């Protein structure tokens, strides 16, 4: 129940962000992949996989091998779902796809597991996946100040049924707190 509440709050937060943002008229909509299997599509964009180390600014991650580079990136000092957490978000305003890390405020610099407590969340093509559904991974915070957070991450997240998964690798972020 708490997972559903958290996903709903994140979706509402993302929607509010979308409503308050303007888009550049020269933005190009990337082609979406066609999934011929009965499983929900997890691919965020069809940008060919490229080597990533650390984002110079912003947020990027490979989702099932495809590079996801959202146009809205930020961190919140307090998560909408829980005042004891802070969140790091990468949101694509054109598609509504979202990747988020929700970490306890006590997390500082260092490497931490992503699991049911330190959560990874992904919404792709209107399907929700979370590490609350037995997913795992790691996040490394290399710098955290009152105004900025920098690090890397990777995780595997599952849908609520536990049957479908999304694998996120080579993730990096360098975002400001709002």
Is 170 inside a domain boundary?
yes
Element (H, E) at 19: helix 2-19
Record the pTM: 0.71
**DSSP per-residue letters across 55-80:** -SSEEEEEETTEEE--SEEEEESS-S
The CA distance from 142 to 165, in Å, is 27
- Is 33 part of a structural domain of the chain? no
Whether 82 maps to a domain, the answer reads yes
pLDDT in tens, 108-156: 999 999 999 999 999 998 899 999 999 999 999 999 999 999 999 999 9
**Residue 57: how many CB atoms within 10 A of its CB?**
11
Q: Could you tell me if residue 26 is inside a domain?
A: no
In whole angstroms, give the CA distance from residue 127 to residue 40: 7
Q: Residues 141, 109: contact at Cβ < 8 Å?
A: yes
- Domain containing residue 162: 2-18+49-176
């Amino acid at each position: 129940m708490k997972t559903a509440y958290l996903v709903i709050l994140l979706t509402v937060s993302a929607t509010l962000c979308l409503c308050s943002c303007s888009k550049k008229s020269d933005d190009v909509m990337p082609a979406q992949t066609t999934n011929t299997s009965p499983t929900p599509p997890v691919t965020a964009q069809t940008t060919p996989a490229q080597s990533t180390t650390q984002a110079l600014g912003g947020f990027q991650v490979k989702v099932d091998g495809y590079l996801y580079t959202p146009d809205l990136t930020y961190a919140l000092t307090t998560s909408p779902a829980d005042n004891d957490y802070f969140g790091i978000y990468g949101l694509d305003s054109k598609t509504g796809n979202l990747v988020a890390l929700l970490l306890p405020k006590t997390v500082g610099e260092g490497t931490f597991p992503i699991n049911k407590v330190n959560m990874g969340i992904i919404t792709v093509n209107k399907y929700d996946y979370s590490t609350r559904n037995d997913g795992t991974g790691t996040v490394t915070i290399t710098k955290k100040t009152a105004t900025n957070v920098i690090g890397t991450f990777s995780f595997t997240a599952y849908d609520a049924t536990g049957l479908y998964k999304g694998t996120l690798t080579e993730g990096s972020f360098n975002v400001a707190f709002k």
